[in-house]
Amino acid sequence: MKIGLEIHFQLKGNKLFCSCSTEGTESGSAFQRKLTPVMGEMGMVDSAVKYENIRNREFLYRVSSNSCLVEKDEEPPHPVNTEALNTAIAISEALNCKILDYASFMRKIVIDGSNTSGFQRTGIIGMDGYIQTSGGPVRISTITLEEDACRKISEKHGRAEYSLDRLGIPLIEISTEPDIADPEHALETAKAIGHFVMSMNNFRGEVDSIRQDVNFSMGFGRVEIKGVSKLSFIKDTLDYEIKRQESLKEISDLFHGKPPEIGDFIDITDIFNNTGSSMIKKAITSGKSVMCARLPGCNHLMKYGNYRLGRELADVAKNMGIGGLMHSDEFPAYGLTGEELSQIYSAARKMDEDAVIVVIADRDSTESLSPLLKERMNKIIKLDLAETRAATTNGETRYLRPLAGKERMYPETDIPLIRITEDILENIKSMVPKSLDEIKKDLIKKYKLSSVEAESIINNNLLSLFMSLSDGFKNPSLLSRILLQVMPEFEKKRGTKLTQEEIRDILGVSISGGNIYRRDDGIKSIIGIARSRGWDRNTLELALSLYILNAIPVSELEKRPELVPLNEAEIRGIINELSEEGQLNEKNLIVMFRKKTDHSFDPRLVMRIFTEMKKSDKL
């Protein structure tokens, strides 16, 4: 099994080749374009490009508040965004890459309409690096800086609608060699790479800011899975793809690698003149035809057990804009009558072992669909599964288009070569993000956190929050306990996650212009009270959780009886009660004690009294 990753991270600030902001809203106006293929550097037209041309779609672009003539492709690109370039260099350094002497931007042909110009500008910054993982080093092939594409809003009736708001956002693409061993390792590698980018100040950090493509092969051709939206989906998506290919291998074995010949489409619209199916009736009224074709030997392979041949074919139809491809394994679900079924089967000349597909579309579309279906069936049975697939939001994958070849690049002549000088490299040194291991060591050394605390801060994605707040806390380990214990308890109680803003608000911290301000209310005043009252750590923590979890105002806190620590007599009383209820020992004492009382207490005092009582046989 071979797995490689291609992860894209958005940067915030300005766009890559103009001064528009990366953030914006829709402005209302729109324009329309149609794109046509051009030849690549080698004078060939790429197969993915050809395929898109068959689809013959129109594109509508919605103008956004953060777009100018560059996004409309009516003005040449401005000089490259230096902050984005420096970030790409810093990340290349962090991932042990060789930095290229010159950044030179190329045009990568994109004809799915997601770029107004028909190409995407992309430039390699670093190459031949590696990242350490538990399964050994994973080689990094390239780190490129490129512009993000338009955001797709909708697609119907051969027309795709895009927003310009995302077009041109700087994107850092990190590609690995296929050194990853399995889905679990892929997830670990993605997280490790993600850490470096996410620790940069200008990582965008919105819901759609990370997109991953996964290259996968288990011997049946390379599959490129586009658009895995979350790091955590990598494993699910790969698990699905492995199952899918295993099942197609079984199907191929059933045919001994010799593809069944899909019959020609036959018009069976007449069968449905008096149909009770409102879906079919509606389609016929709107001028569509019902067509069927025979798939020899495919009965129970369309959708049965692990077999999903039907979906493989339906995906091709769907990409042509033909929504409804039904097949015989699922006809019962469409409410067709027995009479209709037998007429379909006899029109298609179905034998017991055959399957039948039915397509509802105009005749022309069905005619262009037919060769594509045959081609797909051939590829599947010959186990040539190389193609581009799309990741779905539920961890599955769907056919997207043929694999794009290398005929897609030609030089961008509007942007001069950018020399990456020694001076630039020297200036960037301080920007180079640290590895997780280095950060852990820093947390332990600088903030006196335990190794477990440091790891939890990193693993729970609390690092940037902790770092941004730590200056405001004289006692960083108190901050770490609040973040790791009190806040999760609060989230559990509320049922939803706290946003970083909410956490800051609870902590009484504001950030403005990169500086941290502690408000005098909230936690700061509680810490003040603790000092003047001589509260021990436990009482302070109890006060903080009353304040955060139960929303008890600071002015009320001082009056709360729970915050007066238990005295020796009270402790003795509780220990007596506990020991009457059952087994009490040094190990469970504090846990049991805490369950028994809401009051603050000093665990060392409880332990001492317990030991004394045991010695003097009072228990």
Residues that bind Zn ion (CB under 5 A): 18, 20, 68, 70-71
- Decide whether 70 or 313 has the Cβ nearer to Zn ion: 70
- Closest distance to Zn ion from the beta carbon of 160 (Å): 21
Of the pair 72, 481, the CB lying nearest Zn ion is at 72
Crossing angle for the helix pair 603-615 and 589-596, nearest 10 degrees? 110
Give the residues across from 338 on adjacent strands. Answer: none
- Residue 129 or 168 having the CB closest to Zn ion: 168
CB atoms within 10 A of CB 208: 12
- How far is residue 299's CA from residue 15's CA, in Å, rounded to a whole number? 53
> Residue 133 CB, nearest distance to Zn ion (Å)?
38
Contacts of 95 (CB under 8 A, 6+ apart): 126, 129, 130, 131, 140, 143, 174, 193, 196
Residues found in the chain: 619
User: 102 Cβ partners below 8 Å, 6+ apart?
Assistant: 417, 418, 419, 420
Smallest separation (angstroms) from Zn ion to the CB of 65: 11
Nearest to 316 by CA among 358, 355, 374: 374
Nearer to Zn ion, 70 or 361 (CB): 70
Nearest by Cα to 312 from 406, 377, 267, 362: 377
User: Tokens 């955001």 — which residue?
Assistant: 151
* Residue 35 CB, nearest approach to Zn ion (Å): 20
The Cα–Cα gap between 19 and 82 comes to 11
Dist CA 54 CA 316 (whole Å): 12
Least Å distance, CB 18 to Zn ion, is 3
Task: State which residue, 69 or 564, has the beta carbon closest to Zn ion.
Answer: 69
Token pair, residue 40, equals: 């690549």
Which one, 26 or 239, has the nearer CB to Zn ion?
A: 26
Beta-bridged to residue 99, according to DSSP, are 126
Quote the least distance from Cβ 412 to Zn ion, whole Å.
Answer: 17
The least distance separating Zn ion from the CB of residue 15, rounded to whole angstroms, comes to: 5
Chain CA centroid to CA 198, Å:
13
Please list, in sequence order, all residues whose beta carbon lies within 8 angstroms of the beta carbon of residue 607, skipping any fewer than 6 positions away. 586, 589, 590
Rounded distance, CA 546 to CA 540, Å?
10
Question: Which of residues 170 and 472 has its CB atom nearest to Zn ion in the complex?
Answer: 170
Closest distance of CB 20 from Zn ion, Å: 3
Least distance between Zn ion and beta carbon 16 (Å): 10
Which CB atom, from 17 or from 473, has the smaller least distance to Zn ion? 17
95 three-class SS: coil
We find the least distance from the C-beta atom of residue 146 to Zn ion, in angstroms, to be 16
Task: Give the pair of three-digit tokens for residue 384.
Answer: 């040539």
Gap between the terminal Cα atoms of the chain: 63
**CA separation (Å) from 268 to 12, 276, 283, 288, 368?**
55, 16, 13, 11, 18
Q: Min. distance of Cβ 112 from Zn ion in angstroms?
A: 21
* Shortest Å, Cβ 126 to Zn ion: 26
Pick from 95, 100, 123: nearest CA to 5: 95
15 vs 288, which CB is nearer to Zn ion?
A: 15
| Choice between 25 and 306, CB closer to Zn ion | 25
Q: SS in 3 state form for 280-299?
A: HHHHHHCCCEEEEEEECCCC
Q: Determine which helix (DSSP H) or strand (DSSP E) holds 511, and give its type and residue range.
A: strand 509-512
How far is residue 485's CA from residue 541's CA, in Å, rounded to a whole number? 10
Q: Which is nearer to Zn ion, 164 or 436 (CB)?
A: 164
Degrees, nearest 5: CA angle 494-499-502: 80
Instruction: Output 78 or 249, the one with its CB closest to Zn ion.
Output: 78
Q: Which two tokens stand for residue 110?
A: 């994109």
CB of 104 to Zn ion, least distance (A): 22
The residue among 456, 518, 510 whose CA lies nearest residue 488 is 456
Using the CB atoms, write b or e for 549-567: b if 16+ within 10 Å: eeebebeebeebebbebbe
Task: Rank residues 68 and 432 by Cβ distance to Zn ion and give the closer one.
Answer: 68
